[in-house]
Amino acid sequence: MPDFELAVLYELSFQEPFVTVEELFEDLKTKLSRIFAARRVVLEVAGERVFHWGFGQEKVLPGRRLTSEYTVYEKILGEDLHMGRFWMEKVAPFQDCEPRLLDIYCRQVERTLRLINTKQELLSAQMRFREMIENAPMLAIHGFDSEGRILFWNRTAEKIYGFAKEEMLGMKVTPEHTGYEFYRQLQQVLNNPPLAGERQVLEGKVLNRFGQRQSVLSFVLPVGGRNRVDEFMRMDVDMSRYKLMEQELRFTSSHDHLTGLYNRNFFEREMMRLEASSADCGGIIVCDLDGLKLVNDTLGHSAGDRLLIQVAGILQGLFDKGDIVARVGGDEFAVLLTATGSAEATVAAERIKDSALQHNRVKPDLPLSLSVGFAAREKPHEKIHDLFVAADNNMSREKLHRSQSNRSAVVQTLARALEARDFITEGHADRLESMVVALARKLDIPEHRIHDLRLLAKFHDIGKVGLKDQILFKPDKLTPAETLAMRQHCAIGYHIAQASSDLVPIADWIYKHHEWWDGSGYPLGLSGENIPLECRILAIADAYDAMISDRPYRKGLPQEKVMAELLRCSGTQFDPGLVPLFLGVVVSPPGSENHPP
Amino acid sequence: MKAGIGISCDAGAWQAGAQAARAAVVHPGTATVGIVVGAGDYDWAEVFAGVRSVMGKARLVGASCAGFFVPQGVFSRGVAVLFLAGNELVAETACVDARYQDVRETGRVLGRGLLQSGIRKGAILCFPDSFEGQVSQLVDNLYDTVGPEYVYFGGGTGDGWKVLDSWQGTEKRVTCQGAAAALLDGRCFVGGVAHGWVPEGAPLVVTRAKGRVVFEMDGRSAFDVYAERLGGVAAESFAETAMRHPLGICYGPQHFIIRDPLQVINGTAIQFISAIPNRSVAYIMKPREENDLTMARKLTEGVVSRLKAADFALIGYCISRSLLMGETYKKELFALVQPLGTIPYLGFLTYGEIGSYGDAPQFHNKSISLLIGGE
């Protein structure tokens, strides 16, 4: 055949722009079987993938040495780069030109492999980029041309704007389709487009198709190379969450977390601002919540927090939005009165006290007690900070004046809380009081100490307000851990008593009222006369009343048994000298006048 | 080994199959393989059933065709059976129905089916549907699956001149528009293919082709180039003129794979019977000589000479040769079979031929494919 070599050269020199090695091999094997009568062909790529033809069921693995009894052509492709290997077998010997033609062909194959590689890398990069753009969270990306036609629209754009990709792609933006605002924003860019290499940054709100506004930070970039800008890309960062966080942060930085009132920082800044702007300020009121520490220590911080919230509610309800109501300390509140006169300040202070009283009438179980001080601006140039100091001083004076009754009120409140909680002690305190007084008189104890004994009878178990219900009301035997917790009520009661001037004298007795004569009591293990007499008296009366009184889970014991028990424990739990006296003075046959109620 | 040929022109399908088989069987009960071809509107399942009723457990393979030729003559209707028997002869068959829409997978399935026998050399007979001109891909994948240790033979099948349906079958099943194949071993097999066309004029380049449609040659409209080469032809008469001037795709320095042009498309492209490789070098072909019958004779003589003794022959003869040559084609058939002497042969009119110039098979048009088994 004439011009065979030329014809083959043409065929071998041309390579289609194959995208994959599979396509290349398909063409390669067809060409080689036709042009060179190839019997078997192998193309190995990068030592990893092997393409073969004519091997039937024989496995051809990468790197495997191939043997043949026929004519073979083999070439390492891209020697420097270890691109792969080409192997071809035919039956007849090679004609003169064939090896040379195959050399030329292999160069073409190398070139094609490199191109395929580059294309695949480009494709991968494109895909990665496309995926990135398509799925960028919090980044709405859309592209448009100089006519306002949408070229791409990613998922976040769908979320932010409310339009699906299918609705937007290829569409020229009109007010009817997307709403006027989106159209206007797009036109804004087209009327003043960024130049090549520039970008526009905008911050504002966008309106979606459902009428919701979202805060975004937008970047508009030109696309299309240096000399030709006919496409634009807009990227909107959804700032809504950040705006919300910013708002929350602003709120948190100026407000008290618990009560929602302004905090001290804000209050002081406002004072400075008013001072600097010479704005009107009618006066300042300062309030202090009395006994908060006692409540926190005895009833828990949640009870204390409730009180604070109640105070905040009272104050907020009494003043206008123009006045600044703030929590300026742990238990301290302040009100900055704007544009009121001194008379109004006085009235406002009284209103606070009245509101507190009104509150206590409605919620007597946990009454609040407020000490209020105020300072009105008499002179126009009076410094606001001085007003605050004056109001604070006034408040402190009031607090001092009220302290005695404040604390008493708190202690009474605690006793009521304990009684309300522990129904088994209903009447118990009164009975105890009469029994201990009777025995004390028998012992010729002075009257002032009898007064303290009365207090002891009433408040010896005050520490139980700090115990959990499941321990306090557990009918079964307490576990060792629960017993330990229960015994803490002595110490708790001691601290409570220390906080009240009325109860300070009996604090030590409260602490030791569970000691035993023989030293096996708690919390200190005192014995004999080291235990205060008042504690020894109370112990007998307390045990007597506990045994003889009914409980939810048992009836009270008969008097004879109680007496027998007291005698039995005389010398161990009880003072052996006091038990007979107690029995003689307090216990009478049924029906007698002296029988305890 | 024993071989026999039987035919029947009975109108009944089953009867035709049974009669042809009975006539072919040399020694009853010893058949190993039966190759069945037939022309006419038969129920091919019945035809195969009829053959099976006579040949028992023998492997069967075959298909429908436009006509067949045997020592008894040339037939445009009827059933022919080539019977092969011998202890040394082993065979396996496979048949794939039209479920396999992908023609490459069809080739692979066919190959895997044949390999189940464990036979690792011999001859592969393949009878595929035209698959809209994609038989090359079937043959390529069959070869890739089975390997180069076989001699390949076969031809595209049809239901006659209408070319609407084709039937293929084995002893296991009969299918329509599918492919059937058999693998034989136990004898020596040689094959050959020839066409008798020679290049005319300078080579041209298929600059743009897809499948069996060529859009451009030498960078210009394919029809324009082809028509110019033929001295000016109108699109309406192109098919008739081009029948005598097929395209020859270069195969090595000495051979061509012939492609029959079918029709002009949109006034610029040319659709061929089978696929044309893109960017290939080709020639417009012409007959070596008018009424030259030497090619056919030399083909057979050349193949026979490679054996010590021949037992049987199978011939695939392109139907377009018969159309082109008119009644003269029978003379070519005679020249083709004459060197076989008394060796039983079965030839059939094919829609493309499967044969090899080297080891790997190709799908040819307007050619003759030959397989001879013997010693």
**Same structural domain, A114 and A144:** no
Start-to-end CA span in chain B (Å):
10
Looking at beta carbons, which residues of chain A come within 8 Å of B149? 56
Full 3-state SS string of A9-72: HHHHHCCCCCCCHHHHHHHHHHHHHHHCCEEEEEEEECCCEEEEECCCCCCCCCCCCCCCCCEE
**pLDDT 10s digits, B35-67:** 999 998 899 999 999 999 998 889 999 999 999
Is some CB atom of chain A closer than 8 A to the CB atom of B211? no
Quote the pLDDT of residue B67: 93
**Same structural domain, A18 and A96:** yes
Whether residue A237 lies inside any domain: the answer is yes
Burial class (CB in 10 A: 0-12, 13-18, 19+), B57: exposed
Neighbours of A176 (CB within 10 A): 8
Q: Distance between CA B280 and CA B288 in Å, rounded?
A: 23
**pLDDT 10s digits, A275-296:** 888 777 778 999 999 888 877 8
Looking at beta carbons, which residues of chain A come within 8 Å of B250? 1, 4, 7-8, 34-35
Q: Distance between CA A293 and CA A308 in Å, rounded?
A: 12
Q: What DSSP state is assigned to residue B335? A: H
- Amino acid symbol at B275: A
Quote the pLDDT of residue A591: 46
**pLDDT 10s digits, B230-241:** 988 888 888 888
Secondary structure element (H or E) that encloses residue B141, with its range: helix B135-146
Residue pair A514/A487 in contact (Cβ under 8 Å)? The answer is yes
Looking at beta carbons, which residues of chain B come within 8 Å of A40? 148
ipTM above 0.90, yes or no: no
**Same structural domain, A339 and A293:** yes
Domain boundary among A127, A150, A183: A127
Q: What DSSP state is assigned to residue A219? A: E
Mean of the per-residue pLDDT values of chain B: 91
CB contact under 8 A, A16 and B143: no
Q: Distance between CA A538 and CA A574 in Å, rounded?
A: 10
Quote the pLDDT of residue A589: 43
Is some CB atom of chain A closer than 8 A to the CB atom of B102? no
Residue A43, strand partner residues: A51, A86
Output the six-digit token pair for A231.
């496409």
Closest to B279 (Cβ–Cβ): which among A11, A57, A92? A11
B62–chain A nearest CA distance, Å:
24
Residue A248 makes CB contacts below 8 A (sequence gap 6+) with: none
CB contact under 8 A, B250 and A35: yes
Quote the pLDDT of residue B69: 96
Closest to B146 (Cβ–Cβ): which among A10, A33, A56? A56
Looking at beta carbons, which residues of chain B come within 8 Å of A30? 140, 277
Is some CB atom of chain B closer than 8 A to the CB atom of A69? no
Residue pair B375/B188 in contact (Cβ under 8 Å)? The answer is yes
Looking at beta carbons, which residues of chain A come within 8 Å of B201? none
Quote the pLDDT of residue A410: 65
**Same structural domain, A183 and A123:** no
Q: What DSSP state is assigned to residue B268? A: T
Domain with A152, as residue range(s), is 136-243
Output the six-digit token pair for A62.
């990468």
Is some CB atom of chain B closer than 8 A to the CB atom of A195? no
3-state helix vs strand vs coil in chain B, percent to 5: 25, 40, 35
Burial class (CB in 10 A: 0-12, 13-18, 19+), A403: middle
Q: Distance between CA A389 and CA A401 in Å, rounded?
A: 19
Is some CB atom of chain A closer than 8 A to the CB atom of B198? no
Whether residue A509 lies inside any domain: the answer is yes
Closest to B359 (Cβ–Cβ): which among A10, A39, A58? A39
CA-closest candidate to residue A73, choices A109, A120, A49, A122: A109
Quote the pLDDT of residue A226: 60
Is some CB atom of chain B closer than 8 A to the CB atom of A56? yes
Quickly list H helices, A460-532.
469-472, 480-499, 507-512
CB contact under 8 A, B253 and A10: no
Quote the pLDDT of residue A590: 42
Domain boundary among A127, A154, A179: A127
Whether residue A250 lies inside any domain: the answer is no
Closest to B148 (Cβ–Cβ): which among A11, A35, A54? A54
B113–chain A nearest CA distance, Å:
12
Closest to B359 (Cβ–Cβ): which among A7, A10, A91? A91
Looking at beta carbons, which residues of chain B come within 8 Å of A35? 250-252
Whether residue A463 lies inside any domain: the answer is yes
Find how far residue A508's CA is from the centre of its chain: 43
Looking at beta carbons, which residues of chain B come within 8 Å of A7? 203, 250, 281
**Same structural domain, A429 and A573:** yes
DSSP-derived pairing of the beta strands B122-128 and B150-155? parallel
- Amino acid symbol at A584: G
Looking at beta carbons, which residues of chain B come within 8 Å of A56? 115, 144-149
Q: Which residue in chain A has the smallest CA separation from B256?
A: A34
CB contact under 8 A, B250 and A7: yes
**Same structural domain, A209 and A64:** no
Quote the pLDDT of residue A593: 46
Residue B88, strand partner residues: none
Look at residue A593 and give its three-state secondary structure.
coil
Q: Which of residues 148-177 of B touch A (CB under 8 A)?
A: 148-149
CB contact under 8 A, B148 and A14: no
Quickly list H helices, A324-383.
342-362
Quote the pLDDT of residue A9: 84
Domain boundary among A99, A127, A155: A127
What are the structural domain ranges in chain B? 2-194+293-374, 197-287
Whether residue A280 lies inside any domain: the answer is yes
CB contact under 8 A, B359 and A7: no
**pLDDT 10s digits, B260-269:** 998 999 999 9
Is some CB atom of chain B closer than 8 A to the CB atom of A90? yes
Residue pair A296/A303 in contact (Cβ under 8 Å)? The answer is yes
**pLDDT 10s digits, B169-220:** 999 999 998 999 999 999 999 999 999 999 998 889 999 999 999 999 999 9
CA A443 to each of CA B3, B114, B326: distance values in angstroms, whole numbers, following the listed order: 144, 123, 153
- Amino acid symbol at B355: G
CB contact under 8 A, A1 and B253: yes
Q: Distance between CA A180 and CA B75 in Å, rounded?
A: 82
Which CATH number is A278's domain given? 3.30.70.270
Is some CB atom of chain A closer than 8 A to the CB atom of B325? no
Q: Distance between CA A338 and CA A270 in Å, rounded?
A: 11
Residue B264, strand partner residues: B270
Quote the pLDDT of residue A409: 66
Q: What is the largest CA-CA distance in chain B?
A: 62
Q: Distance between CA A106 and CA A455 in Å, rounded?
A: 111
CB contact under 8 A, B115 and A38: no
Q: Distance between CA A389 and CA A380 in Å, rounded?
A: 17
Residue pair A444/A501 in contact (Cβ under 8 Å)? The answer is no
Is some CB atom of chain B closer than 8 A to the CB atom of A21? no
Is some CB atom of chain A closer than 8 A to the CB atom of B201? no
Which CATH number is A470's domain given? 1.10.3210.10
CA-closest candidate to residue A374, choices A354, A399, A392: A392
Looking at beta carbons, which residues of chain B come within 8 Å of A54? 143-144, 147-148, 359-360
Percent of chain B scoring above 70 in pLDDT: 96
**Same structural domain, A272 and A392:** yes
Residue B188, strand partner residues: B374
Whether residue A248 lies inside any domain: the answer is no
Q: Tell whether the torsion through CA atoms of B354, B357, B361 and B364 is positive or negative.
A: negative
Quote the pLDDT of residue A295: 78
Which of the residues in chain A have pLDDT under 70?
1-2, 80-81, 225-228, 339-343, 364-365, 402-426, 552, 587-597
Is some CB atom of chain B closer than 8 A to the CB atom of A53? yes
DSSP B213-239: EEEEETTEEHHHHHHHHTT---GGGHH
**Same structural domain, A434 and A569:** yes
CB contact under 8 A, B358 and A92: yes
Looking at beta carbons, which residues of chain B come within 8 Å of A16? 278-279
**Same structural domain, A454 and A323:** no
CB contact under 8 A, B277 and A34: yes
CB contact under 8 A, A55 and B143: no
Whether residue A596 lies inside any domain: the answer is no
Is some CB atom of chain B closer than 8 A to the CB atom of A423? no
Q: Distance between CA A8 and CA A104 in Å, rounded?
A: 11
B145–chain A nearest CA distance, Å:
4
**Same structural domain, A408 and A479:** no
- Amino acid symbol at A163: F
Q: How many domains does chain A have?
A: 4
Quote the pLDDT of residue A414: 67
Radius of gyration (Cα) for chain A, nearest Å? 47
Interface test with B, best of A13, A34, A57 (most B CBs within 10 A): A34
Quickly list H helices, B156-278.
222-229, 238-242
What's the order of all strands across the beta sheet hosting A38-45?
A49-53, A38-45, A84-90, A71-77
- Fold category of B197-287 in CATH: Thrombin, subunit H (2.40.10)
CB contact under 8 A, B358 and A95: no
User: What's the rounded mean pLDDT across residues B337-360?
Assistant: 93
Looking at beta carbons, which residues of chain B come within 8 Å of A11? 279-281
Residue A69 makes CB contacts below 8 A (sequence gap 6+) with: none
pTM, rounded to two decimals = 0.61
Closest to A7 (Cβ–Cβ): which among B149, B281, B358? B281
Whether residue A146 lies inside any domain: the answer is yes
Look at residue A69 and give its three-state secondary structure.
coil
Look at residue A316 and give its three-state secondary structure.
helix
Per-residue pLDDT band at B223 (split at 50, 70, 90): very high
Which CATH number is A228's domain given? 3.30.450.20
**pLDDT 10s digits, B96-140:** 986 667 899 999 999 999 999 899 999 999 999 988 788 999 999
Interface test with A, best of B208, B359, B362, B363 (most A CBs within 10 A): B359
A2–chain B nearest CA distance, Å:
8
Burial class (CB in 10 A: 0-12, 13-18, 19+), B2: middle
Is some CB atom of chain A closer than 8 A to the CB atom of B280? yes
CA B32 to each of CA A426, B86, B182: distance values in angstroms, whole numbers, following the listed order: 114, 7, 12
**Same structural domain, A65 and A109:** yes
